[in-house]
A = this chain, B = another copy of it.
């Protein structure tokens, strides 16, 4: 990949006087210090340099070719590049897979040529790449946008062509600096994973910000994110379109609406943004806050009680704790406060102004909270240009640094005053926000990345998927989908606790088993093709005497009519229902799922997904990430879940699923919890 970013020479095929190829040449001339070779048979010279009639006729080596000819003219150009020994090509032309069948075929053809020639192919349908530090512009991007770019520590990976220009323009407008910007288009070959990997060692990049509409190599993406020392901030387009999946199993249906993707990326430490500007602001914050207490606690200083309350609301909503000030801090603050005023956080300095004056009040407030060991972030609400005199921001930053505190301003005020303040603060390395909500979101994202990094130190990664066939019983040979009983037998083979049960073929046998095992019992008619047993009247609960067992058996026999069989099982006492599952996702591969079961969980799914197999520690993390985990943590006197036992089930479920490639989905639903112990009461395995 490095030669994409650091070629010694670049050919631009399709350059002209005024076309997009010509813009590439002009952009190259503005900063690229290697060989520049425009290719176009119609010109001898272009933009002041020699132009070549064909790639073959370029003297010397070509490290990178940028192609901007009409789509159907691209394959011959690629052949020419192959002939010349060019190993890296960026196709910026459009008209490929995004346009339908013909374009898909054309793109496939390009990829074949590239593969054969051992050539890496970037694009097509993209804006190429930009390195603001060098500055290198291998792109047809408008030169006016180029001029507004600031160099910085964020690198961008953007799927859509137009969007990368928009991102760069907006970052320039907001005064946020950029290292590299990679517009990857249709991703025929080079994709976001390749670039993330490359940027790991890029000295100019501290944070990677991405705009993607799909993540076809999801598993690789998640694995790279887990290893990355640089935060990944992702804006995902098309969230509302995630749309309906055909629900074969609960696990599969619950993975929809981006739930699987979001869950796994969350476990991978990816920071998800939900709008363009939030993405930019979070990425910017992460370049400034590289180390923060994951359980981050904020002190708030303000001259307006109302603003203090709003800051508090915003921080708590984002999961940032409003710090409990220490005794010493409170004593120090009390010295500048009027006697009637109790000290609390937010620290409202307004009444202190009347006692000590504005300057001493401000200094006293800062001095007190900045030294508090229970404070990680100092949020200062400030109004520039009406009354509040600007403090010396450099010494304020130094004071914060010396005390190991993050300093952030919530800035308001008049037009000019606040603009000046903001520029001054950013020069001093202080983050400034106009919006308290955004401020809180950014602090929270930094804390989440810290938490991820800390956790990773303790548990470096998931176990590899091993085809551990020795651990698995051979797969039962009963056709495409197994019934409940076969499914549970299979799971029991992986040490997953299942309910006591037996297939019975007569009412007598059922009654005898019940008398031996103890009542109440449940009778079920197993017909693999029928969807939901309860909905079809195939489940008979709470059978406590011989008579009801016999009548239930008879009824079910009529219903299954030789197309299925009848299962008897002990009716276990259920304190609450959970759900666990396994599935193979096209992008993320083998995954395990865990969450709340029962009807309301179907209304508002509360489940998490993780790459399978999982180890004990990751399984515990899954269990502790369920939104309403308090349900199984001793809620209203219910016996708490044995989390170790549940974690073991997830570990075993991952083993079971990954051991057999024929298994596409497994449901344990419900995973019933009886006095803390989880047990599979119903289960299903779906084979491909």
Among A299-307, A456-464, A673-681, the stretch in contact with B: A299-307
**A304, closest chain B residue (CB):** B162
* B residues in contact with A235, CB < 8 Å: 310
Interface of chain A, main secondary structure: helix
Q: Does residue A145 face the partner (Cβ distance < 8 Å to B)?
A: yes
Please tell me if the beta carbons of B535 and A636 are within 8 angstroms of each other in the complex.
yes
Among A201-209, A369-377, A409-417, the stretch in contact with B: A409-417
Please tell me if the beta carbons of B166 and A309 are within 8 angstroms of each other in the complex.
no
**A148, closest chain B residue (CB):** B414
Please tell me if the beta carbons of A307 and B163 are within 8 angstroms of each other in the complex.
yes
Docked CA distance A145–B383 (Å): 12
Q: Which of B237, B436, B600 contacts A601 (CB 8 A)?
A: B600
Interface residues of A in 131-169 (CB under 8 A from B): 142, 144-145, 148, 158-160, 162-163, 165-166, 169
Docked CA distance A189–B98 (Å): 66
Interface residues of A in 157-183 (CB under 8 A from B): 158-160, 162-163, 165-166, 169-170, 172-173
Docked CA distance A155–B278 (Å): 30
Among A11-19, A40-48, A311-319, A472-480, the stretch in contact with B: A311-319
Interface residues of A in 230-247 (CB under 8 A from B): 235, 237-241
Name which of A99, A148, A173, A601 has the most chain B CB atoms within 10 A of its CB: A173
Please tell me if the beta carbons of A99 and B340 are within 8 angstroms of each other in the complex.
yes
Q: Does residue A551 face the partner (Cβ distance < 8 Å to B)?
A: no
**A303, closest chain B residue (CB):** B162
With A238-B313, A535-B636, A600-B631 as contacts: A304 and B166 at CB distance below 8 Å: yes
* B residues in contact with A100, CB < 8 Å: 340
Known: A576-B599, A603-B635. 8 other contacts (CB 8 A): A144-B386, A173-B415, A213-B306, A238-B312, A240-B312, A276-B310, A277-B434, A532-B636
Q: Does residue A102 face the partner (Cβ distance < 8 Å to B)?
A: yes
**A627, closest chain B residue (CB):** B604
Q: Does residue A418 face the partner (Cβ distance < 8 Å to B)?
A: yes
Please tell me if the beta carbons of A309 and B238 are within 8 angstroms of each other in the complex.
yes
Please tell me if the beta carbons of B414 and A144 are within 8 angstroms of each other in the complex.
yes
Q: Does residue A563 face the partner (Cβ distance < 8 Å to B)?
A: no
* B residues in contact with A414, CB < 8 Å: 144-145, 148, 169, 172-173
Number of copies: 2
**A520, closest chain B residue (CB):** B542
* B residues in contact with A434, CB < 8 Å: 277
Q: A519 CB to closest chain B CB, in angstroms?
A: 12
Please tell me if the beta carbons of A412 and B603 are within 8 angstroms of each other in the complex.
no
Q: Which of B169, B240, B317, B435 contacts A313 (CB 8 A)?
A: B240
Give 13 pairs: A residue, B residue, CB < 8 Å, sorted on A. A98-B305, A144-B414, A162-B303, A163-B306, A166-B306, A169-B386, A213-B309, A237-B310, A275-B437, A278-B437, A542-B542, A600-B600, A603-B635
Docked CA distance A600–B144 (Å): 56
* B residues in contact with A635, CB < 8 Å: 599, 603
Docked CA distance A570–B274 (Å): 52
Docked CA distance A274–B211 (Å): 26
* B residues in contact with A239, CB < 8 Å: 313, 317
Name which of A160, A435, A600 has the most chain B CB atoms within 10 A of its CB: A600
Q: A95 CB to closest chain B CB, in angstroms?
A: 9
* B residues in contact with A309, CB < 8 Å: 213, 237-238, 241
Please tell me if the beta carbons of A383 and B631 are within 8 angstroms of each other in the complex.
no
* B residues in contact with A386, CB < 8 Å: 142, 144-145, 165, 169
Q: Does residue A103 face the partner (Cβ distance < 8 Å to B)?
A: yes
* A409-449 vs B, Cβ < 8 Å mask (1 yes, 0 no): 00011110010000000000000001111000000000000
Docked CA distance A679–B335 (Å): 62
* B residues in contact with A170, CB < 8 Å: 412
With A276-B435, A277-B434 as contacts: A240 and B162 at CB distance below 8 Å: no
* B residues in contact with A145, CB < 8 Å: 386, 414
Docked CA distance A241–B338 (Å): 24
Please tell me if the beta carbons of A340 and B310 are within 8 angstroms of each other in the complex.
no
Docked CA distance A361–B393 (Å): 50
Q: A185 CB to closest chain B CB, in angstroms?
A: 11
Interface residues of A in 561-589 (CB under 8 A from B): 576
* B residues in contact with A415, CB < 8 Å: 148, 172-173
Q: Does residue A5 face the partner (Cβ distance < 8 Å to B)?
A: no
Please tell me if the beta carbons of B436 and A276 are within 8 angstroms of each other in the complex.
yes
* B residues in contact with A144, CB < 8 Å: 385-386, 414
Docked CA distance A503–B628 (Å): 38
Q: Does residue A341 face the partner (Cβ distance < 8 Å to B)?
A: yes
Please tell me if the beta carbons of B237 and A160 are within 8 angstroms of each other in the complex.
no
Please tell me if the beta carbons of A310 and B241 are within 8 angstroms of each other in the complex.
no
Q: Does residue A387 face the partner (Cβ distance < 8 Å to B)?
A: yes
Q: Does residue A637 face the partner (Cβ distance < 8 Å to B)?
A: yes
* B residues in contact with A383, CB < 8 Å: 165-166, 169
Docked CA distance A532–B636 (Å): 10
Q: Which of B142, B306, B412 contacts A169 (CB 8 A)?
A: B412
With A166-B304, A603-B630 as contacts: A240 and B316 at CB distance below 8 Å: yes
Q: Does residue A639 face the partner (Cβ distance < 8 Å to B)?
A: no
Q: Which of B148, B307, B602 contacts A166 (CB 8 A)?
A: B307
Q: A391 CB to closest chain B CB, in angstroms?
A: 18
Docked CA distance A127–B78 (Å): 72
* B residues in contact with A436, CB < 8 Å: 275-276
